[in-house]
Amino acid sequence: GAGVSQTPSNKVTEKGKYVELRCDPISGHTALYWYRQSLGQGPEFLIYFQGTGAADDSGLPNDRFFAVRPEGSVSTLKIQRTERGDSAVYLCASSLGTVIDYNEQFFGPGTRLTVL
Amino acid sequence: QQPVQSPQAVILREGEDAVINCSSSKALYSVHWYRQKHGEAPVFLMILLKGGEQKGHEKISASFNEKKQQSSLYLTASQLSYSGTYFCGTEKVTGGTSYGKLTFGQGTILTVHP
């Protein structure tokens, strides 16, 4: 079946602009995670959704970052007033969301964000 | 706090074996291993849980020492396709239900030559 998809694959924006990054998880997966990965580093946790609610947003770096998942499926990560330091690959992952499956996470291909 | 992976890089010839280690200073609930090729998404390899349960691909083996909070990934009879960056992601023991909040190591770059 289809995996996790993310759009756009690349986004170039200017400092100060607003961007939205979209994640479409695997059908039936109730858990959704956003990570940020800088060059040469491992993914860094941003936020976790169980269903429609953000169960843990402790990884969001500041209040310029916000994410939603209004219908419990597609999620959008929103970044206001972008800064050059926001440049990274933003990864989305989903899992079945039950303890039984050990929270095995399936990652999407990511969105490469470049802030000029 | 980020887990520490070692070595940082490994170069192998096809057919050789390798071990990648992941060490945490926190009490862990689980360790997840992923492989990522350049420009691609991380791909799940293995999960090891506190208590001994594990789930992963048949050709991959790993261990989790709960006392030392260390995990090792064993790659045997390496193939060219094994090349990539290997990440461990750790989940801390918390008072609540586990939900897969992972802290990733900095990665180990594995290169397999013919």
Domain ranges of chain B: 4-113
Architecture of domain B4-113: Sandwich (2.60)
Can you give the pLDDT of all 114 residues of chain B as single tens digits? 899 999 999 999 999 999 999 999 988 889 999 999 998 999 999 999 888 888 887 778 999 999 999 999 999 999 999 999 999 999 988 766 677 889 999 999 999 999
| Three-state DSSP class for residue A70 | coil
CA angle B9–B91–B59, rounded 5-degree value: 55
**Domains of chain A, CATH where assigned:** 5-97 (2.60.40.10)
Residues 6+ apart with CB under 8 A from A85: A115
Q: Residue B42 is nearest to which of A43, A55, A103, comparing CB atoms?
A: A43
Query: Tell me: the pLDDT tens digits for A96-112?
Result: 876 655 678 999 999 99
Query: Would you call A43 and B30 a contact, using CB atoms and an 8 Å cutoff?
Result: no
* CA–CA dist B112, A95 (Å, integer): 31
User: Residues near B95 by Cβ (< 8 Å), separated by ≥ 6?
Assistant: none
A contacts of B41 (beta carbons < 8 Å): 4, 91, 107-110
CB contact under 8 A, B55 and A105: no
B30 contacts chain A (CB < 8 A): yes
> With an 8 Å Cβ cutoff, are B104 and A42 in contact?
yes
Across the interface, whether the CB atoms of B100 and A43 are under 8 A apart is answered no
Among partner residues A41, A55, A105, which is closest to B106 by beta-carbon distance?
A41
Residues in chain B: 114
CB atoms within 10 A of CB B38: 7
